[in-house]
Structure 1
Amino acid sequence: MNSRVGKAILSLVIIMLPWKISAQAENPVLSDNPSGYLLLDKGLQYRITKSINSMYNFDFPTAERDFAVIMYQYPEHPLPDFLMALGYWWRIEVDVTNTRFDNIFIQYLDRANEKAQRMFDRDPKNKEAAFFLAAGYGFQGRLYSERKSWTKAAWAGRNALKYMELSRGETEFNPELLLGDALFNYFSVWIPENYPLLRPVMALFPKGNKQLGLQQLETVATNAFYTRVEAQYFLFRLYASEEKRPYEALQISEYLHSKFPNNPYFHRSYARHLYTVGRWTESVKQSTEILERIDQRQYGYESNSGRYAAFYVAEYYNRIGQKSEAKKYYLKTVAYGEESESQESGYYLHALIQLGKMETEAKNKVQAKKYFDQVKKYAKRKHPAHKEARDFIKRNKL
């Protein structure tokens, strides 16, 4: 199976899930909990809010101490194990190519699923149990699709879809469940638009509405208790890429970075969006801070974030004509790209092209040829960087 097509299929399954227990609540609704579901216990929600805020801010020891207390109080409930798994997912999210957290992430999800399954077996009408099973299998499928373990991902995705349907119908869970509907509405249209070969597959699903999906996502980002941050995460990614609304993407990433200043994913996204809208000096400031945090070995700041940050700084210096500084940071981009094994990434390839041009200007054609050969080695032939490297070599007789 083609990896992009396979990932698109699995992404459809995963994005349909109501991603649970994943955001801070700033204005919790104080109401009774007639269902008896732990997720709707308002006192516990306050405690979860503090813990999850710590988790999003990459203060995992604080978050996990709180999760451990919940685990002690509710040893048979899937919530604490799911929260622990979620913390490891965010460690993975910073650099999805790194597999060192895969096993413990899956172990916590397996434990959460086992407990939820026991709840479900005792009462097949238990919406909370179905709620956790849908989310648990969904996250498993998402990781397996990243690892190209398509059989495992498909199995997890089928289970996730089954329990997602069973979790519907409990109005107290809204707007949390609306996130799943929003993502389905958006991506069930987006996937056939971008992957024509999948149109027959998508015909088997209900017809989506991309604009409605975006509106629903905005509603969740504003009103949800648990899924607020996840909705904001999806929104800034869609605004930045698919919807071509860079200033709105910047607004969300700026908020998330200010709320969770030690989250490296939000930090580099903020730097990226500043760069995209032309606020280069501010992007350089944020990028330099990212690089300093990497040098200081601050938790979560690693080579993948360094590749982004170094590139933005390099581009800035190149624009203002400070070639020696630009070269320094392009070399950092390349070094971080190799450390994170991201040689096929656009930033890595563009940095090599710029270095090749600089060496050509310096009459160092041998070194320039090496840089362009690296581009040809790592870029696919249809990639714009591959064509640019070929054309430059030909024009300059390297």
Structure 2
Amino acid sequence: MRALIMRFLKPLFYIIVFILAANQPARAALNEKLIQRGVDLTLNMRFEQAIALFDSLIREYPQDPAGYFLKSAVYFWMYTQDVRMADVAEQFEKISDQGIEAAEKQLEKNEEDLDAKFFLGAIYGNLGRYYIMNSSWIKAYWYGKEGKDLLEEIVEADPEYYNAYLGLGIYHYYADILPGVIKMLSYILGIEGDKKKGLEELKLAISKGSFVKSEARFFLAMTYMYFEYNYLRARDLWAKLARAYPENTFFILSQARCEMYMNDYPAALQLYKKALARKDARLKFAMNRAHYFVGQIYFKMNRFGEAVEHYKLAVKNIPPKDGKRHWIYAWGMVHLGESYEMLGNRAKAEQCYRDVAGKEEIYAYMQGAVKNARQRLQNPLTWFDKQLIYARNYRETQKLDSALVVLNRLKEEIDSGRYVDKKNEFFYNLGLVYLKKGRTSEAIALFKKILAEQPEEPDWLLPYTHYQIGNAYLRLNKKEAARAHYERAGESDNPRLRIQVNRALDHL
């Protein structure tokens, strides 16, 4: 369950790290240009320089909470990104405590000081997310609720305190879309979900906020990419952020991931290589992730030798986290094994599969990798499996005619009564190609063959088949038929599929 929470909340960890006061006259003594310079340094990943600059603010204005918050936010940003610098977590906690003390003293003098409330709420918000990351749920609840309440007090007192709408928008959006226990947690915190309101609040922060514009754009890009599935808008936002902060490797990596979602693999590959060329030793896991996704790209391009090299780099020197294997290691080894199999090296593939199949210290949510590895050990890739992989890769890289050539060859095998156990996966892949080529009725007919069989394995096949039938019926403007299949797909326990289904239902 912790993994599910982290899957949905981690984008928040990246976001609310520099929520500054919009009404600066109350803090006119602070040098706004100096503050903006510090924010820009941080977003360009010049952390040491940003810390030094905010230290100068603290020395000049030791009673003002702004400097403490800004400095703590640098450490929080580094912590959420796994930046390898000494004592990051310890420094974040220490400086946050100092900021809380400074803000509370300001409020003792003037309980209506909105800026002091804002910085206090911002520090509470970061501490809440920090404790979620560390599974300290009681602390996370307390700090999260305090931070949210302060934001509401601010906008109630001054509706034009525009930067406060960034934090409120994030809360309102996530409380509406997150499933299960996370939504229940939002309810406990007293946060009403309203994603439309959240998006409007976010846009208000972008248009009328002061120092939060880049952070608001960042969140909007994350939202469009991971939850709204509006990849065109997300790509434009990532590109704008990357131009504004060219030294921020994470913006480049995020743009690359967006290009992958849009199946523009050449563009994604170029961006990942740009990030990898920087060889930033501070960003160990980010670089491993980049190699992992480059491995995926080369695999999808049917360039398995190059995929092997990047998967090897992806799993290299990844230390256990909390005594358990990282997901990059688990899935990286599985995909490395598959790449070796595609190259005809079953012996090396088995070594990779065994490394994962025998591990019990992998996080529970990575048991899919363990299951996959064990299946691969028992069932080597057949000629048919490999051809199906070629066809799928051609389809995903938009080489539909090449995909059809391979699939038509496989159809002869299926029609001859061979590879019966693979026919449903074959129907699914051929159906997707037909759907992309506009042969919608033929696609539906193939998908319905799968439904008639009701296969139990692979476990993803039935829900995704319902989802694709829903997409097909929607193309034919048969909305009620589409709705019925979307609802069946939504019964899946796959969180990503459920989000896709909910989005599809919202647009019916």
Same fold flag (TM > 0.5): yes
What number of residue pairs does the alignment pair up?
A: 377
SS of 2:32's equivalent?
helix
Aligned match of 1:307: 288
8 Å contact kept, 1:235–1:249: yes
1:267 CA displacement = 2.2
Aligned match of 2:136: 149
Q: Does 1:107 align with 2:94?
A: yes
Aligned match of 1:174: 161
Q: Does 1:37 align with 2:18?
A: no
Distance 2:290 2:7 in 1: 28
Distance 1:141 1:199 in 2: 16
Distance 1:107 1:173 in 2: 32
Q: 1:318 to 1:338 in 2, by over 3 A?
A: farther
8 Å contact kept, 1:92–1:99: no
Q: Does 1:385 align with 2:373?
A: no
Q: 1:36 to 1:240 in 2, by over 3 A?
A: closer
Q: 1:338 to 1:371 in 2, by over 3 A?
A: farther
Q: Does 1:394 align with 2:378?
A: yes
Aligned match of 2:310: 329
Aligned match of 1:352: 333
Distance 1:233 1:190 in 2: 18
Q: 1:364 to 1:206 in 2, by over 3 A?
A: closer
8 Å contact kept, 1:349–1:385: yes
Q: Does 1:163 align with 2:147?
A: no
1:321 CA displacement = 3.5
1:235 CA displacement = 1.5
1:379 CA displacement = 6.3
8 Å contact kept, 1:21–1:83: yes
Q: Does 1:226 align with 2:233?
A: no
Q: 1:356 to 1:8 in 2, by over 3 A?
A: closer
1:36 CA displacement = 4.7
* Alignment equivalent of 2:250, drawn from 253, 265, 286: 265
1:27-176 pair list within 5 angstroms: 36-38=25-27, 41=28, 44-95=31-82, 100-171=87-158, 174-176=161-163
SS of 1:321's equivalent?
coil
1:217 CA displacement = 1.6
Q: 1:87 to 1:129 in 2, by over 3 A?
A: same
Q: 1:42 to 1:250 in 2, by over 3 A?
A: farther
SS of 1:242's equivalent?
helix
8 Å contact kept, 2:304–2:342: no
Aligned match of 1:368: 349
1:102 CA displacement = 0.4
1:136 CA displacement = 1.1
SS of 2:278's equivalent?
helix
1:176-255 pair list within 5 angstroms: 176-191=163-178, 194-195=179-180, 198-199=183-184, 202=187, 205=190, 207-255=192-240
8 Å contact kept, 1:304–1:336: no
Distance 1:98 1:152 in 2: 25
Distance 1:36 1:290 in 2: 40
Unpaired stretches in structure 1, ≥5 consecutive residues? none
Q: 1:70 to 1:190 in 2, by over 3 A?
A: same
8 Å contact kept, 1:140–1:156: yes
Q: 1:66 to 1:396 in 2, by over 3 A?
A: closer
Aligned match of 2:298: 317
Flag the structure with larger Rg.
2
1:259-298 pair list within 5 angstroms: 259-294=244-279, 298=280
1:7 CA displacement = 6.3
Distance 2:226 2:133 in 1: 20
1:269 CA displacement = 1.0
SS of 2:240's equivalent?
helix
1:359 CA displacement = 3.3
1:85 CA displacement = 0.9
8 Å contact kept, 1:19–1:227: no
Structure 1 stretch displaced more, 272-281 or 118-127: 272-281
1:324 CA displacement = 2.1
Distance 1:75 1:373 in 2: 57
1:360-398 alpha-carbon deviations (Å, 9 max, x no partner): 355544432232233433364885434433333332299
SS of 1:278's equivalent?
coil
Distance 2:239 2:321 in 1: 26
8 Å contact kept, 2:107–2:116: yes
RMSD (Å) for aligned C-alpha atoms: 3.6
SS of 1:208's equivalent?
coil
Distance 2:330 2:259 in 1: 21
1:283-310 alpha-carbon deviations (Å, 9 max, x no partner): 222212222212xxx464x221112221
Distance 1:155 1:196 in 2: 17
Distance 2:16 2:164 in 1: 8
SS of 2:227's equivalent?
coil
Distance 1:196 1:151 in 2: 15
Distance 1:153 1:96 in 2: 22
Opposite residue 217 of structure 2, the aligned amino acid is Q
Distance 2:215 2:65 in 1: 20
1:206 CA displacement = 5.8
1:109-162 alpha-carbon deviations (Å, 9 max, x no partner): 111110110111122222222111111111111111111122332332343244
Query: What TM-score do the two structures reach when normalised by structure 1?
Result: 0.81
Q: 1:394 to 1:118 in 2, by over 3 A?
A: same
Structure 1 stretch displaced more, 269-278 or 353-362: 353-362
Unpaired stretches in structure 2, ≥5 consecutive residues? 383-508
Distance 2:188 2:321 in 1: 39
SS of 1:37's equivalent?
helix
8 Å contact kept, 1:349–1:379: no
1:199 CA displacement = 4.3
